[in-house]
């Protein structure tokens, strides 16, 4: 019996791998694929904790209702519960298309509405504390430590002034930055045509200094890469590129050290509030990577509460 359970589990997990592979071939973003894996692991853990063996007979409406009840107790966020059920719904649609299940039991669960969270941008006070700290770090450090501080400043500008997500930053290359009188950063999403986002003129000066330091450090360490950012420990550059998780950790550490609330998400929301002051809504939606039908109402409603002065003065 134990051998039969292991075989059944192995087959079920193999189908999940096939599902992820198919989604990747369809051009789903790395962040979407990561979320799918996380959501499916949540379901796998639920099955394991409750002694359910995934097979044709056990994957029923009753099981999915138990899982939905489990999600209701585990997650306070409606959107978190909704996303996990939506991933499972997509996976069972895949199993159905492969002839592995007779129906999709997740479709018996009503789809909960998607709620737009109230924007919680970084306050200008906290942003100024962080910005001044970065400038002080750069002024007081040398060599690799100076380069790392400059890297973190460039990341901050690309999020606060360019609205980039961590998934955008993780794969950004140096050739995607255009300097000059009107600096811009180009994004190349897998399912959209490339587009560029304007950056402040001050970005030009900061980036030139960063690239000069990066060139020197790469030569010293005999390493070469195309990415704009890099992963490093206090002693050497480990590789080009910086994962989404690595970017989140950087801001978490600064937030804890400076005793301020600061995340890439809150910094990006501050950028969107900044854009709303003088940018065209059509352009804002393009830069955010959302559909033209997307409503900015929940941002505009809170705009008077979030005013940002010039960061560079």
Q: Which domains does the chain have, with CATH numbers?
A: 2-108 (1.10.150.130), 124-305 (1.10.443.10)
Q: Give the number of other Cβ atoms within 10 Å of residue 87's Cβ.
A: 21
How far is residue 15's CA from residue 112's CA, in Å, rounded to a whole number?
Answer: 26
For 147, counting Cβ atoms within 10 Å of its Cβ (0-12 exposed, 13-18 middle, 19+ buried), the class is buried
Q: Give the number of other Cβ atoms within 10 Å of residue 190's Cβ.
A: 11
For 196, counting Cβ atoms within 10 Å of its Cβ (0-12 exposed, 13-18 middle, 19+ buried), the class is middle
pTM of structure: 0.69
Question: Which position has the token pair 């200094």?
Answer: 209
pLDDT tens-digit profile, the chain (313 residues): 333 334 446 677 888 999 999 998 888 878 788 989 999 999 888 888 887 777 666 677 888 888 888 888 887 777 788 888 899 899 989 988 888 878 888 887 766 555 556 788 999 999 999 999 999 999 999 999 999 999 999 999 999 999 999 989 998 999 999 998 899 999 988 767 889 999 999 999 999 999 999 999 999 999 999 999 999 999 999 999 999 999 999 999 999 999 999 999 999 999 999 999 888 999 999 999 887 888 888 888 888 888 787 777 6
Residues 6 or more apart whose CB falls under 8 angstroms from that of 219 comprise: none
């Amino acid at each position: 019996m134990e051998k039969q359970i292991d075989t059944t589990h192995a087959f079920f997990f193999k189908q999940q791998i096939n599902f992820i592979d198919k989604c990747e071939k369809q051009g789903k973003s790395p962040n979407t694929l990561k979320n799918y894996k996380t959501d499916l692991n949540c379901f796998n853990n639920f099955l394991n904790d409750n002694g359910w063996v995934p097979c044709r007979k056990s994957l029923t409406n009753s099981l999915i209702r138990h899982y939905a009840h489990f999600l209701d107790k585990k997650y306070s966020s409606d959107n978190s519960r909704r996303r996990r059920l939506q991933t499972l719904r997509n996976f069972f649609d895949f199993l159905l298309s492969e002839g592995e299940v007779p129906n999709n039991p997740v479709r018996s669960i009503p789809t909960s509405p998607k709620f737009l969270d109230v924007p919680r941008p970084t306050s200008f006070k906290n942003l100024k504390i962080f910005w001044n700290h970065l400038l002080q770090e750069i002024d007081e450090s040398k060599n690799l430590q100076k380069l790392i501080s400059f890297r973190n400043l460039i990341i901050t500008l690309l999020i606060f002034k360019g609205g980039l997500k961590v998934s955008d930053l993780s794969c950004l290359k140096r050739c995607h930055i255009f300097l000059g009188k009107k600096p811009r950063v180009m994004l190349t999403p897998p399912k959209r045509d490339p587009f560029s986002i304007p950056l402040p003129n001050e970005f030009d000066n900061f980036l030139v200094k960063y690239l000069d330091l990066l060139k020197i450090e790469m030569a010293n360490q005999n390493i070469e890469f195309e990415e704009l950012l890099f992963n490093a420990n206090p002693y050497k550059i480990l590789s080009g590129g910086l994962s989404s998780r690595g970017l989140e950790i950087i801001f978490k550490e600064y937030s804890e050290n400076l005793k301020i609330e600061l995340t890439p998400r809150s910094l990006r929301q501050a950028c969107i509030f900044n854009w709303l002051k003088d940018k065209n809504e059509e352009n804002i939606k393009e830069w955010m990577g959302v559909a033209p039908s997307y409503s900015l109402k929940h941002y505009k409603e809170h705009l008077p509460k979030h005013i940002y002065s010039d960061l560079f003065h």
